[in-house]
Structure 1
Amino acid sequence: MAFLFLLTFCLALFYGQVQEVKKDLNISMASISQIDSSLDVEGMSQVLRQLEPQRQNTQQAREITQGFIWKLLVGVPVVGDDVRTMQGMASTMDSLMADALPELSSALGHLQGAPLSTVDGQINLTPLLDAGKSLSKANTITQEQNRALKALPRPRLSKFRQSYEEAAKRLDYVSTVLDDYAYGLQVLPGLLGQSGPRTYAIVAMTPAEARSAGGLVGAVGTADIDTGRVSFGDFRSNTEYISAGQGAPTEDEKRIFSQWGPLKMSLDVRDIAAVPDTQRTAEQMRNIWGKTPWGKQKQLDGVILVDPVCLQEMIKVSGSVTMPDGQVLTGIDTAEFLLNTIYKKYTPEQQDVYFGQVARQSMTQVFSGLDAGKVSRILRNWRDLSLQRHFAIYMFDRQEESVMEKANLTAHTPDDARKPTVGVYVTEQNSSKMDWYVHRSAKIVSSDCQQRGPKRYHFEYTMTNTLKDWQADLVPTYVTGQGQAGQPRRTAVEKTLIYAPAGGQLSNISVKGDADPVSKQRMDGKNLYATVARLAPGESVVLSFDVTTSPQAQQDLALDQTPMGWMDPGPGVINQCFASSK
């Protein structure tokens, strides 16, 4: 009887402690997850002030989970792993509060109130470098704790499992955000000429006429930067580069884009983004640049890819721009104006000049009067814009490029087995601006319950031409197509390349709608599948296939795709196994 009383007392005490630990951890995790939504200097400072009192809660949770009852229950079958996981969660949260957040606070201290711009317009790099060091320390601690949390056993008991999965999801997201910001602060001083003069080609693309890595190149500008002094040169229309010819495409690239139609592309400066890898776009740009009168004597250190969605986000940071003709562009309407309206109001010659003017003015405004608020918004935009391929950077120096890679600023086809990604890239085969009207969406479904190792998904990718027939009568031929290569006007003709995740495979590929049979291809050392889809007004094409990831996969399947004319975070994964376990 005494034993039963003691056992009942211990279990009741343990249950009460579990509830207290869960409450403390949930409150702290919810507050930490605000880091992303508040990542401006003032908002972040407020979040950190709110978190300071919670250090006592996480410390208490850690101490509770190291008590006698918890240590005793770790050795009990079935529940032992669950108890160990709760101990690990408490340890993780306390380490974040005690070690990571003070470094994050220090990084903000370096930026807050610091003079980032001098009276003569030069950018003060010292606060950026100091903040970068502190943020890097905070990020290292956060990544270590995220890995430790992921390594814990998945709880069997539903109450433990729900707390664990919610904490793992939130911490994984926060660690991704901090990782991007930390590398962003490493990137920014280097881009601004910390190590000496730099010259970049700024390649302006239009997703209204899609190319795999972005869109047709309409204009190319320059940025000359030296120890914080930034000067943007004029943008030259693509017509000034066409005489320089091709940018040394590979034999594979020629076969897929020049020899295989329906549009046999010239692969001059307009088409350098047809290949999905930013590195190849940059290499071709450098080759073309070196054949121009103005490029022969000036070496490029890197290439920056931007599109109208990127410019719109820059204008959100710096304020609206007023063009010489009085047109005012804002952080809401710039993308639509440059991707659709401009083609209805201006001649082709005027369009490229206009685009260049918007790009130069918006970029100049971003770096004028730089302050901590602008820096945080720039870094936040970089993350989303680069992941969605509206913005990319490639540096020709290997060491500098490795930093860009870590900051996710260099887009490429799937190459990391730990982060499984399906790549779907389209290149318009009807010389038109029809891709403004083409909406692309994906659906990813998983019924695989494995935590690690190869996972299986079903993937559907839909492309729809949203232009209506009656609308097409009101749209200029320049937009709906010239009938080049025998392609009908109003029809978007999409050469579509599909890449499996690195180390994974695709199977059971099918296509519904007006499209060529899917064929196996190989380009620049990687296998892929390809088809040509034809989208008449109101019509859709749906690609469906099964995906098996590499055994090294550490996260759910994601999508990398050619950007559209707006921000689109892409699909989440519908996890049928997870849904059924609720």
Structure 2
Amino acid sequence: MSVVACFIIVWVGVRGALAYEHLTRVEASVSDVSAEFAADPSLAGPALENIATEARGAHELTSDGIWSLAERTPWLGPQLSAFRTIAASSDQLLTDALLPLAAVAQDTSLDDLRPSGGRFDTASLVELEPTAQRAADASGRAASAVQSLDRTPLINSVGSAVDRADALFTRSSAAIDALARATKLLPAMLGDDGPRSYLVLVQNNAEWRSLGGITGTAILLRTDGGVISLIDTRSATELSRGIRAPAAQLPDDVREIYGSRPARFFHNLTEIPDFSVDGPLAKEMYREQTGVDVDGVIAIDPVTLSYLLKATGPVALPDGESLTSSSAVSVLLNDVYQRYPEPAAQDAFFAGATGAVFSALLDGRGSATGLVTALARATEERRILLWSADPTQRALIDGTTLAGAIPTTDSDTARFGVYLNDGTGSKMSFYVRPIVTLTWGPCSAQDRQLTVTMTLTNTAPTDAATSLPKYVTGNGAFGTAPGAATVVSNIFLPEGWRLASATTTSGTGPTEGSFDGRDVLTFGSTLGPQATDTVVITVESDSGASEAEALITPTADASLPTAVQARCISSSSATLG
């Protein structure tokens, strides 16, 4: 071995060891710093400065000419290149994104964003907007650099480090991008440029629809100069009364799967798993029934309300009961049907409870940090959806989880949509537990296989037919025996992937259809108490995708994921030895 080669190895080895120490400290500190930044950006500056110094040191140690020369060598080169990319991206995320955000937030507290007397002060958002946009651009570039790294030639330890960095940068970039969009979107939505009106759909996850549940309650909000007013509350039953024809002509492929129900019954608006369709449909149905033309449509669910109650604390209901974070889901989605046999009384209770939570929120109860955390979790779980009639606002919403879009497959990631709809005509979805998993076949094969497995279990007690209220079981009104639950599952397959097989433990086969160019398999499962049905679908493709994701209907059970992921790790990946 030449003297030059020895020198390069020693040089890279020493600098690499020092850079590794810097990055280890960055990784160890980043969670605490992120939490501090989220809690109060104005106090996070010193901690961010320290961690940014560490990242800058790692970047400088891995960006000299000798390191660059070593990156051209076989086997070792890809490891060094990956290491340098992580160091450079860490420096960029902290120096060009988080530090400027912390600097501009020095004179701003999250409490400034909390409503007071029903009014939001949007001045701090407007001030933050240009810095937030530059930070979003910088964090996006940092995340893209790590995402684009080829894992195939990496040894296991380096590959694992890249995976951890990828997850960190992706989360950070998404959060900063959401902040940047919010600084542009919220001032206008809150009426800075004039009065706006919004229709809030409260989905009921006890009776599934693709994006969550039936629309049980519709709330009309008005904003003007930051002031939010609750104008009207109506039940879906009231808003569906008298509709004789579909409110809009649905495309043929939509009607093939869902019929005209979403355009004829307000309850069924979110049966179509695309909120860019559901939002305009809700706007039109509401206009026909009330004469009010809204500027946007928002969907939430009782699980979101439970998250908000963690921040606001308990609220008093019209009947004198206290609604808490831990009781909200059970009370609103199950207990109410035992207390109030009549649907009209149920609707009134549901509307009153929702209004009480909104009033607590608008009164400024709870910490701003708690509210931000609650809204962020609900948004990530796709429990908050948003459509705007304003094209500029829609452009800001598109590409985010708020848009409620059907998942799209790209060259890197194959994406399924697993959408669940109640077929019982009751509230038995509250008792059905869906478990979804993704599994790759051999990643070295020319035709890769990917399997999505969904197991549905009816957790209702064995005596559900008699122990549960008739309104919950449906009492056999739509052909399902009391105590049993019928689930209609629409599985959207990844674009460009071929169906290899589709089976169920119940022996029922799927109905095949298409939605906007995507193949859709529809299964019907009828589950007696404590019974299960498992759906297994395998698709194949010569795609080079190594990631997979399945989006799942958000249920009443907050412990269940609304998305699952799987990575295909090729056996050709480099190893030591």
Query: Counterparts of 1:387 and 1:424 in 2: how far apart (Å)?
Result: 17
Which residue identity does 1:422 align to in structure 2?
F
2:527 to 535, 542, 546: 535
2:548 to 530, 552, 557: 557
Cα drift, residue 35 of structure 1: 5.7
The residue that corresponds to 1:340 in the other structure is 334
Q: CA contact under 8 A between 1:114 and 1:127: conserved in structure 2?
A: no
Q: CA contact under 8 A between 1:426 and 1:495: conserved in structure 2?
A: yes
Query: Counterparts of 2:543 and 2:408 in 1: how far apart (Å)?
Result: 14
Cα drift, residue 502 of structure 1: 3.7
Query: Counterparts of 1:266 and 1:217 in 2: how far apart (Å)?
Result: 13
Cα drift, residue 520 of structure 1: 0.8
The residue that corresponds to 2:119 in the other structure is 122
Cα drift, residue 187 of structure 1: 2.8
The residue that corresponds to 2:299 in the other structure is 305
The residue that corresponds to 2:212 in the other structure is 214
- For the pair 1:480 / 2:458, whether they are aligned, the reply is no
Q: CA contact under 8 A between 2:129 and 2:184: conserved in structure 1?
A: yes
1:460 to 453, 457, 482: 453
- In percent, how many aligned pairs have the same letter? 23
The residue that corresponds to 2:154 in the other structure is 156
Q: CA contact under 8 A between 1:116 and 1:370: conserved in structure 2?
A: no
- For the pair 1:522 / 2:514, whether they are aligned, the reply is yes
What TM-score results when the alignment is normalised by the length of structure 1?
0.88
**Gaps (5+ residues) in structure 1?**
none
C-alpha change, 1:468 and 1:36, in structure 2 (3 Å) is farther
Cα drift, residue 499 of structure 1: 0.5
The 5 Å alignment of 1:369-384 reads 369=364, 373-374=367-368, 376-384=369-377
Cα drift, residue 10 of structure 1: 5.0
The residue that corresponds to 1:414 in the other structure is 407
Query: Counterparts of 1:209 and 1:249 in 2: how far apart (Å)?
Result: 25
Deviations 1:459-487, CA, capped at 9 Å, x for gaps = 11111101121355321111112212322
- What SS does structure 1 have at the residue aligned with 2:547? coil
- What SS does structure 1 have at the residue aligned with 2:426? coil
Query: Counterparts of 1:380 and 1:551 in 2: how far apart (Å)?
Result: 37
Cα drift, residue 24 of structure 1: 0.8
Deviations 1:356-380, CA, capped at 9 Å, x for gaps = 1121221232233389x52x54444
C-alpha change, 1:121 and 1:233, in structure 2 (3 Å) is closer
Which residue identity does 1:96 align to in structure 2?
L
Q: CA contact under 8 A between 2:308 and 2:375: conserved in structure 1?
A: no
Query: Counterparts of 2:71 and 2:513 in 1: how far apart (Å)?
Result: 54
C-alpha change, 1:133 and 1:41, in structure 2 (3 Å) is farther
Query: Counterparts of 2:226 and 2:324 in 1: how far apart (Å)?
Result: 27
Which is further off, 436-445 or 50-59? Answer: 50-59
Deviations 1:371-422, CA, capped at 9 Å, x for gaps = 9x52x54444344323433221111222211212244212122235365321
Query: Counterparts of 1:95 and 1:101 in 2: how far apart (Å)?
Result: 9
Q: CA contact under 8 A between 2:201 and 2:297: conserved in structure 1?
A: yes
The 5 Å alignment of 1:436-447 reads 436-447=430-441
Deviations 1:310-351, CA, capped at 9 Å, x for gaps = 111222222211012111111221011101111111132111
The residue that corresponds to 2:396 in the other structure is 403
2:75 to 74, 78, 84: 78
1:271 to 268, 272, 280: 268
The 5 Å alignment of 1:277-316 reads 277-292=274-289, 295-296=290-291, 298-316=292-310
Query: Counterparts of 1:571 and 1:407 in 2: how far apart (Å)?
Result: 14
C-alpha change, 1:540 and 1:225, in structure 2 (3 Å) is same
The residue that corresponds to 1:391 in the other structure is 384
The residue that corresponds to 2:163 in the other structure is 165
Q: CA contact under 8 A between 1:386 and 1:411: conserved in structure 2?
A: no
Cα drift, residue 535 of structure 1: 1.1
Q: CA contact under 8 A between 2:86 and 2:162: conserved in structure 1?
A: yes
Which is further off, 199-208 or 55-64? Answer: 55-64
The residue that corresponds to 1:356 in the other structure is 351
Q: CA contact under 8 A between 2:269 and 2:281: conserved in structure 1?
A: yes
The residue that corresponds to 2:425 in the other structure is 431
Q: CA contact under 8 A between 1:501 and 1:549: conserved in structure 2?
A: no
Query: Counterparts of 1:503 and 1:33 in 2: how far apart (Å)?
Result: 38
RMSD: 3.1
Query: Counterparts of 1:387 and 1:411 in 2: how far apart (Å)?
Result: 11
The residue that corresponds to 2:312 in the other structure is 318
Query: Counterparts of 2:104 and 2:116 in 1: how far apart (Å)?
Result: 24
- What SS does structure 1 have at the residue aligned with 2:335? helix
C-alpha change, 1:550 and 1:112, in structure 2 (3 Å) is farther
Which residue identity does 1:439 align to in structure 2?
R
2:134 to 119, 124, 137: 137
Which residue identity does 2:456 align to in structure 1?
M
C-alpha change, 1:76 and 1:252, in structure 2 (3 Å) is closer
What TM-score results when the alignment is normalised by the length of structure 2?
0.89
Which is further off, 466-475 or 110-119? Answer: 110-119
Deviations 1:191-240, CA, capped at 9 Å, x for gaps = 21233211111112211111122212222110011120100123112232
Q: CA contact under 8 A between 1:247 and 1:269: conserved in structure 2?
A: no
Q: CA contact under 8 A between 1:103 and 1:134: conserved in structure 2?
A: yes
C-alpha change, 1:46 and 1:126, in structure 2 (3 Å) is closer
- What SS does structure 1 have at the residue aligned with 2:217? strand
Query: Counterparts of 1:106 and 1:35 in 2: how far apart (Å)?
Result: 15
**Gaps (5+ residues) in structure 2?**
none
The residue that corresponds to 1:59 in the other structure is 56
Query: Counterparts of 1:539 and 1:571 in 2: how far apart (Å)?
Result: 24
Query: Counterparts of 2:315 and 2:268 in 1: how far apart (Å)?
Result: 29
C-alpha change, 1:75 and 1:412, in structure 2 (3 Å) is closer
Deviations 1:421-480, CA, capped at 9 Å, x for gaps = 211112211121100000011111225558xx9964221111110112135532111111
Which residue identity does 1:393 align to in structure 2?
L
Query: Counterparts of 1:325 and 1:33 in 2: how far apart (Å)?
Result: 43
Query: Counterparts of 1:397 and 1:367 in 2: how far apart (Å)?
Result: 24
1:234 to 226, 232, 235: 232
- For the pair 1:490 / 2:487, whether they are aligned, the reply is no
Q: CA contact under 8 A between 1:124 and 1:228: conserved in structure 2?
A: yes
Q: CA contact under 8 A between 1:499 and 1:527: conserved in structure 2?
A: yes
C-alpha change, 1:176 and 1:533, in structure 2 (3 Å) is same
Which is further off, 392-401 or 333-342? Answer: 392-401
Q: CA contact under 8 A between 2:262 and 2:271: conserved in structure 1?
A: no
The residue that corresponds to 1:50 in the other structure is 47
- What SS does structure 1 have at the residue aligned with 2:241? helix
Q: CA contact under 8 A between 1:454 and 1:550: conserved in structure 2?
A: yes
Q: CA contact under 8 A between 1:181 and 1:379: conserved in structure 2?
A: no
Cα drift, residue 34 of structure 1: 4.5
The 5 Å alignment of 1:17-36 reads 17-34=15-32
Query: Counterparts of 2:52 and 2:112 in 1: how far apart (Å)?
Result: 32
Aligned residue pairs total 567
Which is further off, 154-163 or 350-359? Answer: 154-163
The residue that corresponds to 1:146 in the other structure is 143
Which is further off, 354-363 or 29-38? Answer: 29-38
C-alpha change, 1:408 and 1:483, in structure 2 (3 Å) is same
The residue that corresponds to 2:557 in the other structure is 566
Cα drift, residue 531 of structure 1: 1.7
Q: CA contact under 8 A between 2:12 and 2:66: conserved in structure 1?
A: yes
The residue that corresponds to 2:248 in the other structure is 248
Q: CA contact under 8 A between 1:21 and 1:64: conserved in structure 2?
A: yes
Cα drift, residue 7 of structure 1: 5.2
Q: CA contact under 8 A between 1:29 and 1:171: conserved in structure 2?
A: no
